[in-house]
Amino acid sequence: MQSSYNRLTTQQWEIMKKILPVKQKGKYKLRDIVDAILWQLRIGGQWRNLPDNFPKWG
């Protein structure tokens, strides 16, 4: 697993949000959710160990 993750840039996010079929109405921003999933896939850490710049996991 990698030891670091850089969050999505605005340009990357603009591409991603065009292909995501979900219209968000939830508590968290869709961009934060996608970034958290990508962080977890890249780092392999537990959800409770998300860095502080992500929304709380619980």
The residue among 3 and 1 whose pLDDT is bigger is: 3
Distance between CA 53 and CA 31 in Å, rounded? 12
Average pLDDT over residues 19-42: 86
Instruction: Give domain limits for the chain.
Output: 10-49
The residue among 27 and 9 whose pLDDT is bigger is: 9
pTM: 0.77
Distance between CA 45 and CA 1 in Å, rounded? 9
pLDDT of residue 1: 57
Question: pLDDT tens, 31-56?
Answer: 998 999 999 988 888 888 888 888 87
What residue type is assigned to position 30 of the chain? L
Distance between CA 1 and CA 57 in Å, rounded? 21
User: 12, 5, 8, 13: which is closest to 40 by C-alpha?
Assistant: 5
